[in-house]
Chain A
């Protein structure tokens, strides 16, 4: 599928509610993410971040409206659209009985790569993410930080144009977080659009240039990070977050 000049992600008048739940998660949501952006999506627990990511990646189907990636409609088992993006879920999404090499071989094949391409990317990723020494060891014996790196590597094995990341650094030490963020910045420099959610707002400030704050199924603010901070006269994303979403518990 050709990569067009359209928006990386275009969410148009999306309505969605979970079956059996009368309250709509989204009534009429609109969100546009340009190609090459480092986009952060933030909100309290239950605000709808994961639901929105699921709609963007086709894990959930919209009730109304459209979700388009690079101009192509998401959903309906559209395998060609699925080749355009990578997804790094918050949960460890691999087979921990297998080694990194074995996981890459399987997920690489499912991502549409051929044998030689998988081998090449495997060596690159193991090297970049510091996993070469443990390439043949079972992932279940890895530390949390190493598992996070494996989780990320599988998401980018096919060099996606858009990368969705759901809390990619949760539970890791400073060194691993630093390595992951640096790698994501490197990917973005090479043209990959990043769509990122996290509760690590300090980390997000360093990574994201565009942000959207979501609460109760609605986008309450969206712009460049610096512009938003200036507009709301806040010194950090965390303060801005509390100002716009309140200090009450949400779950």
Chain B
């Protein structure tokens, strides 16, 4: 025990004097959490505050195009501005560039007349099928397509949302015209506005309810999503200090001396596990504290800690132990500092990617969805999400902790094999 204590004191002192290592373990992840949360918070607020700028070039003079523009404005996703111009792509590109718009829509000059003709045709068909009109409805051609221009930086998911929103506005415009035609054909007078609104405006509200295990109704936000995930990343980031430190020790003369002393190298390994497990717990405490007390000063939502604090500690401990075990394993097998740092840094980014820290694992396809299961970060993240977002308790995260524990034991076993193979224990 005395040897272990002396080794832990040595490791802590060496660590505290490594300013760059401390920077990697604390400052970098903290910056990462703040920056990513701030950016994602802006995305969360896209609908409410930061609307997508869209310019509309309306070459039509009829009512349908005006109603379409009003409908697009009412969606709430866009900041609409109108420009005059021709229907050319270059003209639209110039207009978008000048107004810094992400999207542009050109409404063709015959839009209203085509919508009107199509509506009358559909109304005629409907009346015929009801047996209310003798003459056959005249067939009408399709409405010319609307063309959407977009800035290539827009992600596909946002483009799909935009397309869905525009299709909804278009549907509303066409339905209005069809309804008016139908009403006029039957009653030979205009559809009253109040009735039109009643028939067209969707009055059925859609409520959003976050599902939680404890029945609480806290709404997920960028902080609740990002703080746990980047805390995990920070824990695994210790590979740069720990993995590199083990290689440095192996390369240095001190390692030669250690091998000649009457103490097993397993003591050194155990000391590193205890020391760095403490570091990972400290990292989590610092980042969570920032989320609770500092984020509101940056205009970010404050972090709400899970109600089951014991579960949070247990999950953090096992996540930290896994990160430490992985770092030691890499450090034992790496022959050079460059190998440990290079492989370590790249591997944690890959593990973070497939583990769902960068892209949610539910959005992954086929192979990558299965591959997520081999990433320890995936199980850490699922456990944290169960606690932070779903209000889960310790029993709810056991199915995440068991695979994480098995992966950790695997790293420990590999480390043991590596140490044995190198005749270090």
Q: Which residues of B contact A57 (CB under 8 A)?
A: 260
A97 at the interface (CB under 8 A from B): yes
Stretch at the interface among A5-13, A27-35, A81-89, A120-128: A81-89
Q: How many whole Å from A220's CB to the nearest CB in chain B?
A: 27
Q: A106 near B10 (CB under 8 angstroms)? A: yes
B99 at the interface (CB under 8 A from A): no
Q: B261 near A110 (CB under 8 angstroms)? A: yes
| Selected contact of A102 from candidates B10, B254, B261, B264, CB within 8 Å | B10
Encoded as 1 (CB less than 8 Å from any A CB) or 0, chain B from 250 to 294 comes to: 001110111111111001000000000000000000000000000
Q: List 16 A-B contacts (CB under 8 A).
A: A80-B262, A82-B262, A87-B257, A90-B253, A91-B253, A92-B253, A93-B253, A93-B257, A98-B17, A102-B10, A105-B9, A106-B7, A109-B2, A109-B6, A115-B2, A138-B17
B365 at the interface (CB under 8 A from A): no
Q: A98 near B258 (CB under 8 angstroms)? A: no
Known A93-B254, A106-B10; contact A77-B261, beta-carbon cutoff 8 A:
no
A114 at the interface (CB under 8 A from B): yes
Instruction: Determine the distance from Cα of A88 to Cα of B156 in the docked complex, in whole angstroms.
Output: 65
A95 at the interface (CB under 8 A from B): yes
The count of chain A contact residues (Cβ–Cβ below 8 Å) is 34
| B263 closest partner in A (C-beta) | A110
Q: How many whole Å from A51's CB to the nearest CB in chain B?
A: 13
List B5-47 residues whose CB lies under 8 Å from chain A: 5-7, 9-10, 13-14, 17-18
Encoded as 1 (CB less than 8 Å from any B CB) or 0, chain A from 41 to 69 comes to: 00000000000000001110100000000
Instruction: Determine the distance from Cα of A134 to Cα of B260 in the docked complex, in whole angstroms.
Output: 27
Q: A91 near B9 (CB under 8 angstroms)? A: no
Q: Which residues of B contact A58 (CB under 8 A)?
A: 259-260
Q: B2 near A114 (CB under 8 angstroms)? A: yes
Chain A contacts to B: CB under 8 angstroms: 57-59, 61, 77, 79-80, 82-83, 85, 87, 89-95, 97-98, 102, 105-112, 114-115, 138, 154-155
Instruction: Determine the distance from Cα of A83 to Cα of B262 in the docked complex, in whole angstroms.
Output: 6
Instruction: Determine the distance from Cα of A143 to Cα of B420 in the docked complex, in whole angstroms.
Output: 37
Known A105-B9, A109-B2, A115-B2; contact A97-B14, beta-carbon cutoff 8 A:
yes
Q: A85 near B260 (CB under 8 angstroms)? A: yes
Q: Which residues of A contact B264 (CB under 8 A)?
A: 77, 79
Q: Of residues A95, A108, A109, A114, which shows the largest number of chain B Cβ atoms within 10 Å of its Cβ?
A: A109
Q: Which residues of B contact A95 (CB under 8 A)?
A: 10, 14, 254
Q: B253 near A106 (CB under 8 angstroms)? A: no
Q: A102 near B259 (CB under 8 angstroms)? A: no
Q: Classify the interface of chain B: helix, strand, loop or mixed.
A: helix
Chain B contacts to A: CB under 8 angstroms: 2-3, 5-7, 9-10, 13-14, 17-18, 252-254, 256-264, 267, 423, 425
Instruction: Determine the distance from Cα of A107 to Cα of B253 in the docked complex, in whole angstroms.
Output: 13
| A1 closest partner in B (C-beta) | B262
Known A109-B2, A109-B6, A115-B2; contact A59-B259, beta-carbon cutoff 8 A:
yes
| B7 closest partner in A (C-beta) | A106
Closest 8 CB pairs of A and B: A91-B253, A109-B6, A93-B253, A79-B262, A82-B262, A93-B257, A106-B10, A97-B17
Instruction: Determine the distance from Cα of A90 to Cα of B6 in the docked complex, in whole angstroms.
Output: 25
Instruction: Determine the distance from Cα of A97 to Cα of B252 in the docked complex, in whole angstroms.
Output: 13
Q: A97 near B6 (CB under 8 angstroms)? A: no
Q: A106 near B260 (CB under 8 angstroms)? A: no
Q: Which residues of A contact B259 (CB under 8 A)?
A: 58-59
Q: A82 near B13 (CB under 8 angstroms)? A: no
Instruction: Determine the distance from Cα of A155 to Cα of B5 in the docked complex, in whole angstroms.
Output: 21
Q: Which residues of B contact A154 (CB under 8 A)?
A: 257
Q: B7 near A109 (CB under 8 angstroms)? A: yes
Q: Which residues of B contact A107 (CB under 8 A)?
A: 257, 261
Instruction: Determine the distance from Cα of A87 to Cα of B267 in the docked complex, in whole angstroms.
Output: 20
Instruction: Determine the distance from Cα of A114 to Cα of B207 in the docked complex, in whole angstroms.
Output: 69
Q: B261 near A89 (CB under 8 angstroms)? A: no
Instruction: Determine the distance from Cα of A59 to Cα of B252 in the docked complex, in whole angstroms.
Output: 15
Known A59-B259, A91-B256; contact A110-B6, beta-carbon cutoff 8 A:
yes
| Selected contact of A89 from candidates B5, B17, B18, B257, CB within 8 Å | B257
Q: Which residues of A contact B262 (CB under 8 A)?
A: 79-80, 82-83, 110-112
Q: B253 near A61 (CB under 8 angstroms)? A: no
Q: Of residues A87, A90, A91, A106, which shows the largest number of chain B Cβ atoms within 10 Å of its Cβ?
A: A106
Q: Of residues B2, B3, B7, B257, which shows the largest number of chain A Cβ atoms within 10 Å of its Cβ?
A: B257
Instruction: Determine the distance from Cα of A147 to Cα of B10 in the docked complex, in whole angstroms.
Output: 18
Q: B423 near A61 (CB under 8 angstroms)? A: yes
Q: B9 near A106 (CB under 8 angstroms)? A: yes
Q: B256 near A93 (CB under 8 angstroms)? A: yes
Instruction: Determine the distance from Cα of A148 to Cα of B17 in the docked complex, in whole angstroms.
Output: 22
Q: Which residues of A contact B263 (CB under 8 A)?
A: 79, 109-112
| Selected contact of A77 from candidates B2, B7, B425, CB within 8 Å | B425
| B4 closest partner in A (C-beta) | A109
Q: A98 near B14 (CB under 8 angstroms)? A: yes
Q: B10 near A59 (CB under 8 angstroms)? A: no
| B258 closest partner in A (C-beta) | A110
Q: How many whole Å from A99's CB to the nearest CB in chain B?
A: 9
Q: Which residues of B contact A110 (CB under 8 A)?
A: 3, 6-7, 258, 261-263, 267
| A118 closest partner in B (C-beta) | B6
Known A98-B13, A102-B13, A138-B17; contact A59-B256, beta-carbon cutoff 8 A:
yes
Instruction: Determine the distance from Cα of A154 to Cα of B267 in the docked complex, in whole angstroms.
Output: 19
Knowing that A77-B425, A82-B260, A97-B17 touch, tell me 13 more A-B residue pairs with CB under 8 angstroms: A58-B260, A59-B259, A82-B262, A89-B257, A90-B253, A93-B256, A93-B257, A94-B254, A98-B14, A98-B17, A109-B2, A109-B7, A111-B263
